Structure 1
Amino acid sequence: MAVLKVIEVLSNSNTSWEDATKKAVMEASKTVKNIKSVYIKDQSAIVKDGEVTEFRVNLKLTFEVK
């Protein structure tokens, strides 16, 4: 039987929500091993002068505890 743990991670990107998600996984994987999945809990964006300047994600990252 596998034991899984879930942590909440916040990330941002100037490009897209997808890029923010990839950055979160890449950064978390530096210290968290055995990442199995990611669930996007929430998305938001920062708007300046009528343009989206920053994409933000709040995600749940699941990894196996060994």
Structure 2
Amino acid sequence: MTTNRTYVKTEVVGSSDKSVSDAIDSAIATASRSLRNLDWFEVVEVRGNIRDSKVSNYQVTLKLGLRYEPKA
């Protein structure tokens, strides 16, 4: 049996000097400390900084899907 679910979306930006993947992991790890029921993410934007002709920082904007919990 399938359960109908309702979600709330919020947007966060993660950053890393290592990689896009690390920026995503960092954003989700930080968000999960204060948000409950994180179920999914969507990459909205990838950008970064350039220093000395090299990528110095990655920034990834994510939409996070949180399972909605109605008040009891």
Category of TM-score, reference length = shorter chain: over 0.9
**Match of residue 14 from structure 2:** 11
Q: Quick check: which has more Rg, 1 or 2?
A: 2
- TM-score, normalisation: structure 2: 0.87
Aligned counterpart for 1:42 among listed residues 13, 28, 45: 45
Superposition CA RMSD, Å: 0.8
Percent identity, aligned pairs only?
24
Runs of 4+ residues over 2 Å off in structure 1: none
- TM-score, normalisation: structure 1: 0.94
User: Structure 2: which 5+ residue stretches go unaligned?
Assistant: none
Which structure shows the higher strand fraction? 1
User: Structure 1: which 5+ residue stretches go unaligned?
Assistant: none
